[in-house]
């Protein structure tokens, strides 16, 4: 009977998760409505032409919407279930880390094994001690990136460049978020599985989950549904359906650090898989213990492959301590909060001819505000109901979120006020200086013609304009100030 009642409330969209009303899963529809304002403000600020958002809880999509258009001139509107986005670095978690988890479950990859146990080419100096775990936590010592696309003419050459990249520090001693490290993980998966990373993920993850619009190198038939990324990248032509990341492009469009394309509806299925402990719709992809191991905070703000929510990286301020997620350079983010049984997903193409003065700042604020809006909408959280920030209320829709941005706004106004005040003070000081100078001159003139007391003064003729002029020319020694000799000012060289 309960199952029938739940089914009555659920509405199937045919794509992604079934939809249910916010109140049915303990969320406030009024508070979730602030998401619309957050996303539209990002569009108005020129941060991105369109976006797809999904907030899910307890197995249902409770807020699934598309906003704006595919590009700044395109007539097609964004659809959360149809529009395909370049996931950028979400590839690291949706693809590569998931593949490593599967192979770890099967005992084919060991976290503390040296990388060169799987890739003999990965050797030399400190590289011999780098482990798979260190690649996952970005503590391998590998650099953030290198321009493979400048030196590699084939995917095989790019692969060789990845494996022969020298370290920048001793493994385990420094944190460097590394695309090279993630690309190396992708190569490990291919070496262990014996097939390409794209083939492995399609067979073991995307097809079993029904993620029909997810994969590397999307088919040409999807072109009209794909949101374009950079308008004029170094490749010299607009990108649509071709990976935005230059190094992933050099590797043939398939890499461990970037290259996946997907819809918001498809990625929401993956997010629910993680919340369910590696199982979705009766299909087990990863063991529950492995999901817990890889998503638990490991070192700093990193889990294994994933980032832990700590108020940075677009995770906002209100997600739980056990929340984890990742972001992507093209304007994507996914945050999963197991304590609230909730996830929040954002897909945009913010690199497409960004019109904002500070596009990175816009997308950073939108990510954080979106995560906050979802968190404060949960009404039955074990952490208690959170107070709604003023900037999310309808009468304050023009601002960004919470006290922080209100403070910045006040600070900006105060700075402007201080600048105006300083300018006014400067003008007042200049006027005062002029008055003082004039007063001193007047005093000198008055002193020069001031008659002495009757007891000491000598008889003089009646004061006339002519005598005043003489007095000014020859003032009394007792009252007149001696002129100060001024040193000649040296001329400054022209810069």
- The residue that leads in pLDDT, 427 or 82, is 82
Reported confidence tier of residue 221, pLDDT bands at 50, 70, 90 = very high
Distance CA 478, CA 316 (A): 76
Lowest-confidence range among 67-76, 350-359, 446-455?
446-455
Query: Considering the domain boundaries, does residue 492 fall inside one?
Result: no
Query: Considering the domain boundaries, does residue 444 fall inside one?
Result: no
Q: How many domains does the chain have?
A: 1
- The residue that leads in pLDDT, 19 or 382, is 19
Q: Is 176 helix (H, G, I), strand (E, B) or coil?
A: coil
Reported confidence tier of residue 430, pLDDT bands at 50, 70, 90 = low
Reported confidence tier of residue 426, pLDDT bands at 50, 70, 90 = low
Query: Considering the domain boundaries, does residue 292 fall inside one?
Result: yes
Q: Where do we find the tokens 């402990």?
A: 277
Query: Considering the domain boundaries, does residue 361 fall inside one?
Result: yes
- CATH number, domain at 150? 3.40.710.10
- The residue that leads in pLDDT, 487 or 318, is 318
pTM here is 0.77
What pLDDT shows up at residue 385?
Answer: 60
Instruction: Give per-residue pLDDT as tens, 333-365.
Output: 999 999 999 999 999 999 987 766 777 889 999
C-alpha pair distances (Å), 166 with each of 50, 141, 148, 153, 260:
40, 9, 14, 20, 27
- The residue that leads in pLDDT, 433 or 319, is 319
% pLDDT > 70, the chain: 73
Q: Is the dihedral of CA 249, 250, 255, 256 positive or negative?
A: negative
Range of the domain at 337: 2-68+83-407
Query: Considering the domain boundaries, does residue 443 fall inside one?
Result: no
What pLDDT shows up at residue 384?
Answer: 59
What pLDDT shows up at residue 56?
Answer: 98
Reported confidence tier of residue 466, pLDDT bands at 50, 70, 90 = very low
State the Rg of the chain over Cα: 34
What pLDDT shows up at residue 74?
Answer: 74
Query: Considering the domain boundaries, does residue 237 fall inside one?
Result: yes
Query: Considering the domain boundaries, does residue 439 fall inside one?
Result: no
Query: Considering the domain boundaries, does residue 369 fall inside one?
Result: yes
- pLDDT value at 391 more than 60: no
Instruction: Give per-residue pLDDT as tens, 183-210.
Output: 999 999 999 999 999 999 999 999 999 9
State the distance between the two ends of the chain, measured CA to CA, in whole angstroms: 86
Average pLDDT over residues 369-391: 76
Pairing label, strands 60-68, 332-337? unpaired
Distance CA 437, CA 34 (A): 61
Q: If we measure between CA atoms, which residue out of 167, 170, 184, 177 comes closest to residue 301?
A: 177
Count of Cβ atoms closer than 10 Å to residue 407 Cβ: 11
- Cα-to-chain-centroid distance, residue 247: 21
- pLDDT value at 401 more than 80: no
Distance CA 297, CA 308 (A): 6
- pLDDT value at 103 more than 50: yes
What pLDDT shows up at residue 381?
Answer: 66
Count of Cβ atoms closer than 10 Å to residue 84 Cβ: 26
- pLDDT value at 219 more than 50: yes
Q: If we measure between CA atoms, which residue out of 280, 311, 274 comes closest to residue 293?
A: 274
Spell out a b/e string for 86-105, using b for 16 or more CB atoms within 10 Å of the CB, else e. Answer: bbbbbbbbbbbbbbbbbbbb
Helix, strand, coil: what percent of the chain each, to 5?
45, 10, 45
Instruction: Give per-residue pLDDT as tens, 73-100.
Output: 877 999 999 999 999 999 999 999 999 9
């Amino acid at each position: 009977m309960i199952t029938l009642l739940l089914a009555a409330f659920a509405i199937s969209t045919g794509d992604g998760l079934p939809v249910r009303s916010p109140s049915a899963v303990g969320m406030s529809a009024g508070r979730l409505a602030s998401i619309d304002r957050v996303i539209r403000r990002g569009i108005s600020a020129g941060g991105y032409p369109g976006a797809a958002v999904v907030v899910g809880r307890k197995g249902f999509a409770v807020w699934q919407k598309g906003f704006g258009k595919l590009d700044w001139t395109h007539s097609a509107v964004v659809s959360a279930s149809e529009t395909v986005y370049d996931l950028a670095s979400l590839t690291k978690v949706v693809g590569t880390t998931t593949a490593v988890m599967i192979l770890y479950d099967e005992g084919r990859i060991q976290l503390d094994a040296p990388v060169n146990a799987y890739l003999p080419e990965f050797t030399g100096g400190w590289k011999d001690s780098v482990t798979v775990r260190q690649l996952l936590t970005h503590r391998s010592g590998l650099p953030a990136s290198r321009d493979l696309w400048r030196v590699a003419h084939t995917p095989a050459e790019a692969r060789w460049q990845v494996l022969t990249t020298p370290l920048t520090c001793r493994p385990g001693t420094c944190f460097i978020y590394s695309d090279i490290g993630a690309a190396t993980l992708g190569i490990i998966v291919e070496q262990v599985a014996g097939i390409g990373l794209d083939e492995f993920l399609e067979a073991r993850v995307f097809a079993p989950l029904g993620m029909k619009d997810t994969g590397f190198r999307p088919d040409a038939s999807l072109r009209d549904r794909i949101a374009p990324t950079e308008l004029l990248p170094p490749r010299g032509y607009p990108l649509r359906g071709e990976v935005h990341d230059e190094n992933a492009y050099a590797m043939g469009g398939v890499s461990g650090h970037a290259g996946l394309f997907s819809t918001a509806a498809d990625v929401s299925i993956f997010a629910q898989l993680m919340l369910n402990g590696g199982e979705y719709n009766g299909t087990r992809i990863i063991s529950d213990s492995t999901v817990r191991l890889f998503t638990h905070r490991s070192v700093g703000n990193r889990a294994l492959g994933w980032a832990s929510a700590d108020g940075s990286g677009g995770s906002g301020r209100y997600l739980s301590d056990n929340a984890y997620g990742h972001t992507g350079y093209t304007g994507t983010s996914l945050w999963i909060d197991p304590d609230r049984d909730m996830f929040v997903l954002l897909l945009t193409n913010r690199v497409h001819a960004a019109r904002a003065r500070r596009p990175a700042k816009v997308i950073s604020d939108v990510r954080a505000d979106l995560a906050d809006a979802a968190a404060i909408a949960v009404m039955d959280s074990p952490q208690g109901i959170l107070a709604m920030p003023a900037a999310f209320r309808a009468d304050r829709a023009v601002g960004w979120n919470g006290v922080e941005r209100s403070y910045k706004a006040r600070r900006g106004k105060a700075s402007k006020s201080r600048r105006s005040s300083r300018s006014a003070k400067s003008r007042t000081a200049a006027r005062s200086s002029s008055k003082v100078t004039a007063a001193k001159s007047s005093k000198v003139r008055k002193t020069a013609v001031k008659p002495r007391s009757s007891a000491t003064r000598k008889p003089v003729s009646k004061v006339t304009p002519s005598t005043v002029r003489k007095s000014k020319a020859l003032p009394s020694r007792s009252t007149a100030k001696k002129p100060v000799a001024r040193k000649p000012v040296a001329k400054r060289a022209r810069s």
